[in-house]
Amino acid sequence: MPPRLAESFDNVIRRKGYSNRSEAVRDIVRRFLVEEEWAEQSAEVVGTVTLVYDHHVHDLAEALTDLQHRSHNQVICSQHVHLDEHNCLETVVLRGEASAVRKIADQLIAARGVKHGQLVCTTTGREL
Ligand code: NI
């Protein structure tokens, strides 16, 4: 590894609290493997979707619930938090084929009235 690259790497891992390079490399390799799982459309993956929306937006809460019911095979659970009088936060845990999980997440995030949505792509952990 070029010395400057190693130095930059060491600075970052120190800041992030890794005790040594191999600990950091291990995490990076795992992240890489999880990304590859997601690239394989039929691989079984786990994902969490976080949504923030205004429940006063007409039909939105119902549309989000409908979407989850239609994907009941992939939806493991959901959690709803009333952030204030208007805003809700919902997290949905999904498990299934990467292509299916991504599609459900995209539909939830794209629903009209969702202010912010994000999919975290993670793993069943079995291959790590
Ligand atoms: Ni709410």
List, for residues 83-125, the tens digit of each pLDDT value.
999 999 999 999 999 999 999 999 999 999 999 999 999 999 9
The residue extents of the domains of the chain are 3-39, 44-122
Question: Which residues are in the CB-under-5-Å shell of ion ligand 1?
Answer: 55, 82, 88
Phi first, then psi: give them for residue 81, nearest 5 degrees.
-120, 130
Q: Residue 64: pLDDT band by 50, 70, 90 thresholds? A: very high
Q: How many Å lie between the centroid of ligand 1 and the Cα of residue 82?
A: 4
Structural class in CATH, domain 3-39: mainly alpha
Model confidence at 127: pLDDT above 90: no
Structural class in CATH, domain 44-122: alpha beta
Q: Coil, strand or helix: which one is 45?
A: strand
Q: How many Å lie between the centroid of ligand 1 and the Cα of residue 11?
A: 42
pTM of the model: 0.90
Handedness of CA 3, 24, 128, 45 (dihedral sign): negative
Q: How many Å lie between the centroid of ligand 1 and the Cα of residue 90?
A: 8
Rounded Cα distance between 127 and 125, Å, is 6
The pLDDT tens digits for 66-81 are: 999 999 999 999 999 9
Q: How many Å lie between the centroid of ligand 1 and the Cα of residue 91?
A: 12
Model confidence at 1: pLDDT above 90: no
Which residue type does 115 have?
K
Q: How many Å lie between the centroid of ligand 1 and the Cα of residue 25?
A: 41
